[in-house]
Every structure is written in C-alpha cells, then in structure tokens.
C-alpha cells in the first residue's frame, strides 16, 4: 500500500471511530497520523497503541477504540506499508544561510504545494469530499475568523470627534474658571448585533449539515458575539447551548443528540412559523441566516408568508443555498421562488470559500 493509501486508511479509521462515539477531533487525528509516522506502521500492535494514546480520552473510549480497530484492520485486509520516518531535527535553531544549500528550496516547494492544495480544497464542493479531505476541511473551517455585526445604540460615549458634548465641555471650562481650554465630543455607542442561524438538516441537506454546524460553532464561539442557532426539518430545535462547547466535535455530537429529525423531511413554512411564534424576539433587528436548499414539502404560500414576516422583523435576511455556487444553477425550486422577494441576499454555501464569504456578509450587515 502506498503512503497516500496508508494515510487514507488511517483517516478512515478515525472517522469510523468518531461514528462509534469517540470524540475524535481534527487535532487528535493529526496527532495520531504524526505518531504513526514515527512508528513501524506494519506492526498492528504499535498502530493500536498510537491510537489508544492519541485518540482516546476516557476508559470507555479505549473499549470502543479496540472494537473498531479489530473491525477496521481485519486480518484479511492488506497490511499497511511502513511510512518513512521523519528526518531527525538536530537543532531547534535554523542555521544562517551562506553559500551552501541547506534544503531550504525543497522546504519552500513543499510549503507552496501544501498551500496550493489547501486553496484548491477551499473551493471544492463539501458533498464531493473524501473522508481524508473532510478532515482537512474541518481544520480549514476551524481557521475561519468571524467578525460580528454591530449596531448603534442610543447611549452616547466620549470620542475624539463627532457631535459636541456640551455638558462635558462646560464642566471642563468650569474646572478652569471659565477658560475655554478645549471642546469635548461624543458619538453613539455600539454593541454586537444579534445573529440567528436557521440550519436545514433534512435529507436533501445531509451532505452539508455537518459542515454548516461547524461554521455555526465558529460563530457561537466568537468572543463578544450574540448568536442563536436552530435546526429546521420537520420541527424546530434550538442547539445553541451544545454548540458553546470548546471542542468542535464534542459540540456537534451534543447538538446531534438533540435533533430528533436529522435527515428527515422538510417543512420550512411550519418551522419558520414555530420560530417566529416562540423565538421571534431573537429575530427583531437581527441578522437572520437561513441555510437551506429550499425544498419544501408543505404549502409554499405559507412559506412565503412566514418569510415575509421574518423579513419585516429582522434587520437583514440572508439565504444560503449550497447549490447556488454550482454551474448552471437557477433558483427554480418552489421554496426558493417563494422566499426570494423577502430575502436581502441569496449566496452560495457549498465550500469553505463560500463559508468565508458568508461570514463576511454577516460581519458587514
């Protein structure tokens, strides 16, 4: 088996382990690959020990790890070929380059190739990625840096310029016996604007739901942000609390356990009505982002009515459709046609690059 095949098999094992309930994060998977790289990958006992040391966090995880390991690396499977050991680093200080070559060109070339691969992956459709590519995509989503939208408040605060603050100016002059020593200014203060994410987790959105929840996790974990997250399907589910966990995979696992209609049908009109009836206060003056392909099983006239209510209540409504970024796409689905008059922007949501654009749209709203 080639080195690429070994890495694919090992990454596939981490995904199987995650499916069995072990919270394997991208960082743990990366550490596992690095550990196996320094071992004899042809020895199953060493590969097992590396997995137990890097992928497991509690005694229950050890039991699940061993069970999945036996099933994944079955005796009849092709044995792994040892991966080349990394070169030993002799010194932590890089030598100054003189006239001699020290392999710097090779390192720069490898970094350029890695950066090029990452850039290509950023524009790939999430639904078409392999397990190994999905692991790298998770890492790219973790590197996104959201920027929260802000709004003006009625309270004024001191500032370098702006409208004249008459009271502060007069107090300053009085402290100096009426001498006009300067003018004080003020401006309206700011605070974070509420952001609401409504994520479609129906069967048609299944290839994208995991990635979209990871983006939601990045927004929820942004310092100073005010973010609420709900899932839409045949019912409405609030998943903000589990997404506050620091570890992305633990957060997604906890959120998944709260969603009873995962990969089910779609009743966008009914779920939007439920949101506006029970949680409508969150949408008032907020940036509301609906992440859905627009497939609607219910009455589209009801969907149009609820979208109109949402548009009148929110500061801005952004609709994210994974198919929007594909060649030849036309917004012809009944649900999309019904909501288009009531949304401010219809953008793509099929790749890491599209997710970055979404965060920019939210940040400047």
Cβ-proximal residues to 24 (8 Å cutoff; 6+ apart), any chain? 14, 15, 17, 18, 55, 249
Domain 195-363 has CATH 3.40.50.410: yes
3-state secondary structure of 236: strand
Cβ-proximal residues to 189 (8 Å cutoff; 6+ apart), any chain? 152, 153, 155, 156, 157
Q: Are 27 and 18 in contact (CB under 8 A)?
A: no
Element (H, E) at 117: helix 104-122
Q: End-to-end CA distance of the chain, in Å? A: 51
CA distance 188 to 163: 9
pLDDT of residue 20: 81
Q: Are 313 and 276 in contact (CB under 8 A)?
A: yes
Burial class (CB in 10 A: 0-12, 13-18, 19+), 239: buried
Cβ-proximal residues to 198 (8 Å cutoff; 6+ apart), any chain? 230, 231, 232, 271, 272, 275, 288, 289, 290, 291, 292
Instruction: List phi, psi (to 5°) of 154.
Output: -75, -25
Q: Are 30 and 253 in contact (CB under 8 A)?
A: no
**Rounded (5°) CA angle 253-214-340:** 120
Spacing of C-alpha 237 from chain mean position: 19
- Nearest in space to 270 (alpha carbons), one of 232, 226, 220: 232
Enter the DSSP assignment of 245: S
Spacing of C-alpha 212 from chain mean position: 6
DSSP string, 333-364: SHHHHHHGGG-SEEEE-SSHHHHHHHHHHHHT
Q: Are 354 and 348 in contact (CB under 8 A)?
A: yes
pLDDT of residue 100: 44
Enter the DSSP assignment of 196: E
3-state secondary structure of 156: strand
pLDDT of residue 1: 54
Q: Are 270 and 300 in contact (CB under 8 A)?
A: no
- Nearest in space to 79 (alpha carbons), one of 56, 106, 51, 47: 47
Q: Are 42 and 80 in contact (CB under 8 A)?
A: yes
pLDDT of residue 59: 75
- Nearest in space to 340 (alpha carbons), one of 350, 332, 352, 349: 332
Q: Are 139 and 117 in contact (CB under 8 A)?
A: no
pLDDT of residue 91: 34
> Which residues in the chain show pLDDT less than 50?
75-102, 113
CA distance 255 to 270: 21
């Amino acid at each position: 088996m080639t080195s690429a095949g070994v890495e694919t098999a090992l990454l596939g094992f981490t995904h199987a382990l995650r499916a069995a309930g072990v919270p394997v994060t991208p960082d743990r998977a990366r550490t596992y690959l690095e550990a196996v790289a320094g071992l004899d990958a042809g020895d199953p006992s060493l590969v097992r020990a590396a997995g137990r040391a890097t992928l497991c966090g509690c005694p229950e995880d050890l039991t699940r790890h061993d069970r999945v390991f036996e099933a994944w690396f079955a005796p009849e499977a092709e044995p792994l070929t040892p991966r080349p050991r990394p070169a030993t680093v002799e010194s932590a200080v890089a030598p100054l380059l003189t006239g001699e070559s020290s392999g710097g060109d090779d390192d720069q070339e490898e970094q350029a190739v890695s950066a090029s691969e990452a850039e290509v992956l950023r524009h790939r459709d999430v639904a078409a990625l392999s397990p190994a590519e999905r692991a790298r995509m998770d890492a790219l989503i973790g590197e996104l840096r959201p920027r929260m939208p802000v709004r003006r408040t009625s309270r004024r605060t001191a500032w370098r310029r702006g409208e004249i603050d008459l009271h502060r100016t007069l107090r300053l002059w009085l402290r100096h016996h009426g001498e006009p020593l300067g003018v004080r200014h003020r401006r309206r203060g700011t605070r974070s604007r509420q952001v609401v994410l409504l994520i479609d987790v129906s069967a048609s959105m299944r290839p994208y739901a995991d990635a979209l929840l990871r983006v939601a996790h990045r927004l929820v974990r942004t310092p100073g942000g005010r973010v609420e997250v709900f899932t839409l399907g045949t019912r409405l589910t609030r998943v903000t609390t589990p997404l506050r966990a620091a570890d992305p995979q633990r957060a997604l696992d906890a959120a998944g356990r709260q969603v009873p209609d995962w990969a089910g049908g779609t009743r966008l009109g009914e779920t939007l009505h439920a949101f506006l009836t029970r949680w409508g206060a969150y949408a008032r003056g907020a940036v509301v982002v609906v992440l859905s392909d627009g497939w609607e099983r219910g009455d589209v006239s009801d969907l149009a009515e609820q979208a109109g209510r949402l548009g009148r209540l929110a500061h801005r409504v952004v609709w994210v459709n994974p198919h929007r970024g594909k060649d030849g796409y036309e917004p012809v689905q009944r649900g999309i046609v019904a909501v288009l008059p009531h949304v401010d922007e219809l953008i793509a949501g099929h790749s890491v690059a599209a997710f970055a654009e979404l965060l920019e749209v939210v940040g400047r709203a």
